Chain A
Amino acid sequence: MGVKRKLPYIILLSSPITIVSVMFLSVLSGSTVIHPVDVIEAFLSFDSDNVTHTIIMTSRVPRAVGAMLIGALLAMSGALMQGMTRNYLASPSIMGVSDGAAFVITLSVIFLPALTSLQMVMLSLVGSAIGTGVVFGIASLVRNGLSPVKMAIIGTIIGTFFSSVSAALATYFQVSQTMSFWYNARIHQMSPDLLWFTIPFAIVGILLALALANSVTILSLGEETAVGLGQRKGLIKALTMFSVVIMTGISVALIGKVGFVGLIVPHITRFFTGTDYRWVIPCSAVIGGIFLTLSDSLSLYINYPFETPIGVVTAMIGVPFFLYLIKTRGVGSHR
């Protein structure tokens, strides 16, 4: 117990070192071999004529930062949702968030082709909100809709619907190729500008998530307890969903659809930290960031010299884990 209680501290305190080393590893990985010394040089004395430096600063570093950020955001979203709904299967990819975002992006590519990246990010957020709203709305109207299984099914089906309509529209208006770039993880072309745009959103989402952590812990204990403790349930839930929409929305805007991070990382985290969401949420962010960055590096080597879409890598790790969860936890509720 003594060690277990210290684990969250260990995770958080060691996080600067682990995060930097994982990102360093990620910067070194790729089809062009890069020497660690070059990376340090690129930071300390950047030389714009040096090709290696340019690759590091315009491609490798944004990619590593993006993977770290998105992993953290997705994992926090998953943790918030699992705590709030007391549903151990709740996660961004299951809630139709990314399919909603992709749907709106398809519409905008077709009807508003002259959009800037920033506007695309904003629309992606709107799309995430729509996707989440539809899935959550149906789930709360259907009997038992918020139970793990029903919600997973509703989310998957609504996701299928959004992606099918998007695919049909994309075919009809002949933008399939553009869209296929969008849907499938575009982590290899992470643009530094876009990354900058999204940081304010990320900060709002993260601060909100941290601020809500205590309330989510209370929600995760059950509705009666929450009401008994005088919690304003509706407001807390609305703010939580808002935070989820922002965090997932910008993740989708940056790299497209990546599943399973938000599902499995909170479970791994709770294994270390227990169920107090004041610990679960920040530790999820650390573990999620590291997880996605490592998956990204792995994606470079699985089918060397070709990159494997990162969604494939996370699914290959995530599916066995998902099946394990179903096998061991059955279909009951959270914890």
Chain B
Amino acid sequence: MSYLTHADLGGQPGFGPVTPEPEGELFHAAWEPRALALTLAMGATGSWNIDASRAVRETLPGYENLSYYQIWLGALAQLMLQRGQVFPDELASGEMRHPAAPVARVLQAAAVPAVLAKGSPTQRPEPGPARFAVGQPVRMHLGKVDHHTRLPGYVQGKRGVIEHVHGAHVFADAHAQGQGEQPQWLYTVVFDEAELWGEGAPRQNLAVSVDAWESYLEPAA
């Protein structure tokens, strides 16, 4: 019963070179834009939030061998199956065989531009004073949690410095688990390459930052 993400890739070895592609190339099969649009349209029904959908995508069986839109599509099906919005026999047949479960809203064509332009801002009123300030050294929490998190493995336990305070934002870990928004202060934390990759790693004249919620951090001397 432990949470297993397949998506936490930062610093992992063995994936080979990056293959650039031309700027105009967006899709590689006819079904991909439909899969994208279905995902966005169902997301707009308000049946789940983005953090919950990320949780399903990153734990999807076979993640490593699926193309990007296959992951999206697999997760979309999973989210709807979980909520009784579709059933396996319907996905297989393409025919409605069970009554529809009502959704909060349906994205109409005419509303698409306004809905996209509005987006879903995550900034919220500040819950209290920020615990950390720009320039302050911090240590990232160590150890895996048993749920979706936005704290990548490669920075866990590492010492960094607060570089920017972003205000309070919806806390992804809680939001993904259906525990509400629980907004927390969000910080940009910057790390030295030796801290992340060890003194022996080849030097690149590099610094890396992540955006981290307050509960990911503790003060460091």
- Do A and B belong to a common assembly? no
